[in-house]
Chains A and B, each alone.
Chain A
Amino acid sequence: MTGLRVLLVDDEVEFLEPTAERLKRRQVECTAVTNGEAALAELARTPFDCAIIDVKMPGMDGLTLLRSVRHDHPRVAVILLTGHASVELGVQGMELGAFEYLMKPVDIDELLDTVRRAAAQKKRA
Chain B
Amino acid sequence: MAELSPNPYLRLRRQMFFALLAFGLIPLFAMGLAGFVANRESVETRTRNVIEAMTKNRRATVELFLEETLRQLDLMVHALPIAELSKTSTLANLRDEARRERGAIVDLGLLDDHGKHVAYVGPHDLGNVDYSDQPWFLQVMLRGRYESDVFLGFRQFPHMVMAVKKRELDRDWILRATVDTDLLSALVREGGLESGADVFILNRDGEYQTRYSPEHRLMEKADLGPIPPHSGTRVVELARNGRREFVATTWLRNDEWVLVARQQVPGFPVLLFAHSAVLVVFLFGLFLVPALSYLIARHRLRQVRGLEDERAALYESVAQSQKMAAIGRMAASIAHEINNPLAVIHAQVGVLDDMLTDDASHPSTAAFKERIKKIEAQVDRGRKVTHRLLGFSRRVGPDLESVDVAAALDETIGFLEKETEAEQIQIVRDYDRAAPIIRCNLSQMQQVFLNLVNNAVDAVGQKGELRLAVACAESGVEVTIADNGPGIKPEDMKRVFEPFFSTKTNTPSHSGLGLSICQEIMRNLGGRIAVESAPGVGTTFRLWFPLAGDPGQENHGRSGHKEGEA
Contacts and interface: CB of A to CB of B under 8 A. Distances in A.
B336 A18 contact: no
Residue with the greatest number of chain A CB neighbours at <10 A, chosen from B344, B347, B351, B380:
B347
Interface stretch (A45-53, A81-89, A116-124): A81-89
Contacts of B391: 85
B383 A84 contact: no
Contact of B347 (A18, A85, A87, A88): A18
A18 B351 contact: yes
A12 B394 contact: no
A20 B437 CA distance: 48
Contact of B396 (A18, A85, A88): A88
Interface stretch (A33-41, A64-72, A92-100, A101-109): A101-109
A12 B336 CA distance: 13
Contact of A18 (B339, B340, B348, B443): B348
Contacts of A21: 351, 354
Range class of the A interface residue count: 10 to 19
Contacts of A12: 340, 343-344
Given A15-B344, A22-B354, A86 B339 contact: no
A23 B350 CA distance: 11
- Does more than half of chain B's interface fall in helix, strand or loop, or is it mixed? helix
Contacts of B358: 25
A105 B346 contact: yes
A19 B336 contact: no
Contacts of B348: 14, 18
Most buried by A among B345, B350, B391, B394: B350
B344 A85 contact: no
Sort chain B's interface into a size bin: 20 to 34
A19 B344 CA distance: 9
A29 B288 CA distance: 98
A84 B390 contact: yes
A85 B351 contact: no
Interface in B443-474: 443
A105 B344 CA distance: 8
A104 B379 CA distance: 11
A83 B339 contact: yes
A31 B510 CA distance: 38
A87 B390 CA distance: 10
B387 A22 contact: no
A45 B168 CA distance: 176
B386 interface: yes
Contacts of B387: 85, 103
Contact of A86 (B342, B345, B347, B394): B394
10 contacts: A12-B344, A83-B336, A83-B386, A84-B336, A85-B335, A85-B339, A87-B443, A104-B339, A105-B347, A105-B383
Interface of B: 335-336, 339-340, 342-348, 350-351, 354, 358, 379-380, 383, 386-387, 390-391, 394, 396, 443
